[in-house]
Structure 1
Amino acid sequence: MYFAALLARTEDGWEASDTELDDVETLSDLTDLAREASEEADTVLVLIEQEDAWFGVLRLDGEEDPRIYVSDAAAAARSSYGEILLTDELLGREPGDDDVADLDSLDLDGTEDGEPEHSDEEDEEAAASGEAVSHSPVGDRDILADLGVSEKELLALDEGDALSTIADSLGAAEVLETVR
């Protein structure tokens, strides 16, 4: 199960809106969606989570390039929405490298139709041979530091309640819960 929301910081505080990602295929699409949804906001956060597997944060400050953090790159790589956030640059790959499996053939849980999920041991073996993305966090670990969530706190978040914890630290827990 996925959840995606947009938090926009305006002069009046944080505003939240449910974000539909069905028509979003690229990071550029997601960035455009966030900018269009909150044109008057100073800071916009797109929060995405796959229940108990991974979460991601995309941050836009004005016209600056987006900043991204993903809690578990391997789990996100097996997700259609995670693939949007996982740029080659974020993964430390040359553009065009195809180290990640063909995501079109995957179910939303990241497995191919009728196949069981990989074990942690299989993921470690694949990572060691260069065939898979690591289960480590990737991206800007200071993405929320100026908003009250330090790198240490971000890395310690549990995937199950990360977005609620982040929203609570921002003072936006109530507005996030209205769109959940």
Structure 2
Amino acid sequence: MYFAALLARTEDGWEASDTELDDVESLSDLAELAREASTDDDTVLVLLEQEDAWFGVVRVDGEEDPRLYVSDAVAASRSSYGEILMNELIGREYGDDDVDLDSLDLDGTEDGEPEGSTSDEDGSTGADGPDAVASGPLGDAELLGDLGVPGRELRTLEPGDALGGIAEALGASEMLEAVR
């Protein structure tokens, strides 16, 4: 079972709404859905969760490219909505089955990089294409850093509890629970 919600930042705080993803087939569709929920091109977060398997966060700031984070690349790649995020993160086109996600190295390190280090200055563990090495969590772990959820904390959140933890850090937990 999936849960998807939008958290839109306004001058009065955060507004939450649940959302249907039935017509979403790509990250562009998802970003457009988020932009429609925004007033004044402010930040919108799309929070996705599949039971206790994985969670994902998409951050849309106005017309900027969306920023993504997925808690478990393998679990997300095996779900229809997670695949939307994974396609973007690993550079795969919608419906392209040429990338074997099971062959990606999921030990939490980049190729040749010692354990415990991060790959990018922003904490991103993103992938640049089919040959890129992925980690368990994948994407920009710092996408919520300026909102009170640093990457190291985001990476420790467990599916099932993560969305509530994120909403609590944002001061929007009551609103998220109301749409759940």
* 1:172 and 2:172 aligned: yes
In structure 2, what is the equivalent of residue 64 of structure 1? 64
The answer as to whether partners of 1:74 and 1:135 remain within 8 angstroms in 2 is: no
Q: Distance in 2 between matches of 1:87 and 1:34?
A: 18
Q: Distance in 1 between matches of 2:23 and 2:40?
A: 23
Q: Distance in 2 between matches of 1:94 and 1:22?
A: 21
SS of the aligned residue for 2:30 comes to helix
Shift of 1:100: 4.2
SS of the aligned residue for 1:52 comes to coil
| Aligned structure 1 segments of 4 or more residues deviating by more than 3 angstroms | 93-97
Q: Distance in 1 between matches of 2:134 and 2:61?
A: 28
Give the number of the structure whose alpha-carbon radius of gyration is greater: 1
In structure 2, what is the equivalent of residue 159 of structure 1? 159
Query: What is the CA RMSD across the aligned residues, in angstroms?
Result: 2.3
In structure 2, what is the equivalent of residue 109 of structure 1? none
2:163 corresponds to which letter in structure 1? Answer: L
TM-score scaled to structure 2, two decimals?
0.77
Q: How big is each residue's C-alpha offset from its partner over 1:134-176, in whole Å with a ceiling of 9 and x where there is no partner?
A: 6601100101000000111001001121000000001000110
Percent identity over the alignment?
Answer: 68
Q: How big is each residue's C-alpha offset from its partner over 1:31-76, in whole Å with a ceiling of 9 and x where there is no partner?
A: 1111112233511000000011000000011111100000001100
Q: How big is each residue's C-alpha offset from its partner over 1:83-139, in whole Å with a ceiling of 9 and x where there is no partner?
A: 111135x22x576562248xxxxxxxxxxxxxxxxxxxxx6xx546x9xx9660110
In structure 2, what is the equivalent of residue 107 of structure 1? none
SS of the aligned residue for 2:28 comes to helix
In structure 1, what is the equivalent of residue 140 of structure 2? 140
In structure 2, what is the equivalent of residue 81 of structure 1? 81
The structure richer in helix per residue is 1
Give the number of aligned pairs. 153
In structure 1, what is the equivalent of residue 16 of structure 2? 16
The answer as to whether partners of 2:34 and 2:46 remain within 8 angstroms in 1 is: yes
1:38 corresponds to which letter in structure 2? Answer: S
Q: Distance in 2 between matches of 1:135 and 1:76?
A: 12
The answer as to whether partners of 2:167 and 2:176 remain within 8 angstroms in 1 is: yes
SS of the aligned residue for 1:9 comes to strand
Q: Distance in 1 between matches of 2:16 and 2:6?
A: 6
2:71 corresponds to which letter in structure 1? Answer: S
